[in-house]
Amino acid sequence: MTAAIHDATVVSNRAIVPGIVRMRLACPDAAQHARPGQFIMLQVSEHTDPLLRRPFSVCSAPGAFVDILYKVVGKGTAAMASWQPEQRVSCIGPLGNGFNIAEPPGHAYLVAGGIGIAPLLFLLETLVQHHSGGSKAVFMGGKTAVDVAVLEDFSLLNQKHIRYATEDGSRGVRGLVTDLFLNHLTEAGRQNSQRACIYGCGPVPMLSALSKIAEQHGMDCQLSLESRMACGTGACLGCAVKTKALAESAVSSGAGHHAPSGYYYKRVCADGPVFNSRELAWDV
């Protein structure tokens, strides 16, 4: 589907925990075509300040609706937090390349840091509804218990399959979610499972650690990158990320841009936001 501009209507817009909001938009066309890992670009003001649209991962697409999660951190999201039901807003999407679940794994590990849980919720929803076989486990990390409480708003989740890590120890184990996940793999004895896949979204250090865990344990790993975006369609090149290899499709489309030492730039918005972890260059 070619991304289109849609007139959407706010259905609900409520804080789940302080500073984190779940918004539902009535937008049938975008909802029909949305896939886990894709995002929309929202116009947050009818004026020039803020000027640029904001990107938000789709966290659910039930029926004619698109749900997003957002954290109130600046002028744009503060304006969004004031929106009331029935307000009309403009969005572009769905955009980007999502998670590849054409062949769902036997063991799906969803690892999120903070608001990075958003695209993984849509992924989990899709796996539960359309790929009932295999195990699914969610690992959620944050600084405090508030940061991981957003999961409680999603009734589809089975609590026994969710594990928490907080840096202050206020919920779950104290420490990083990547350590929690690595300990689970060790205890479960699935280090070399070829039918397992890691799906992650969160801060770059977390994703880099997940990439190393996947490599060490012989697992596939798909990571959704978070990035500031100006256009969301690949035109401005403002969300470039270094990769180790350039896909043939990127060469033919001109999406890849050569970087020093044989690395290449790809666009998070158009070539991602989901990448295979083996493709990403973390330490260059």
Band (260; pLDDT cuts 50, 70, 90) = low
Residue 8 phi, psi dihedral angles, 5° rounding: -110, 160
* Closest residue by Cα to residue 39 from 207, 273, 223, 204: 273
Residue 192 to residue 207: CA distance in whole angstroms: 20
Q: Which helix (H) or strand (E) holds 98?
A: none
**Average pLDDT of 219-243?**
86
Q: Which residues are within 8 A (CB) of 232 and not within 5 positions of it... i.e. 6 or more apart?
A: 3, 39, 41, 53, 55, 92, 93, 95, 96, 269
Q: Is the pLDDT of residue 263 over 50?
A: yes
Domains of the chain by start residue, with CATH? 4-95 (2.40.30.10), 107-226 (3.40.50.80), 228-276 (no CATH)
Q: What is residue 283's predicted lDDT score, i.e. its pLDDT?
A: 72
CB atoms within 10 A of CB 205: 12
pTM greater than 0.75 (yes/no) = yes
CA atoms within 13 A on the CB side of 192: 0
More confident residue, 131 or 137: 137
At 149-204, the pLDDT tens digits run: 888 877 666 666 899 999 999 999 999 999 999 999 988 775 445 689 999 999 99
At 12-61, the pLDDT tens digits run: 999 999 999 999 999 999 999 999 999 999 998 887 778 788 999 999 99
Q: What is residue 193's predicted lDDT score, i.e. its pLDDT?
A: 59
What strand order describes the sheet that includes 162-166?
Answer: 173-174, 162-166, 135-142, 107-113, 196-201, 220-224, 274-276
Q: What is residue 156's predicted lDDT score, i.e. its pLDDT?
A: 60
Taking phi over 0 as left and psi of -120 to 50 as alpha, with beta for the rest, 202 belongs to left
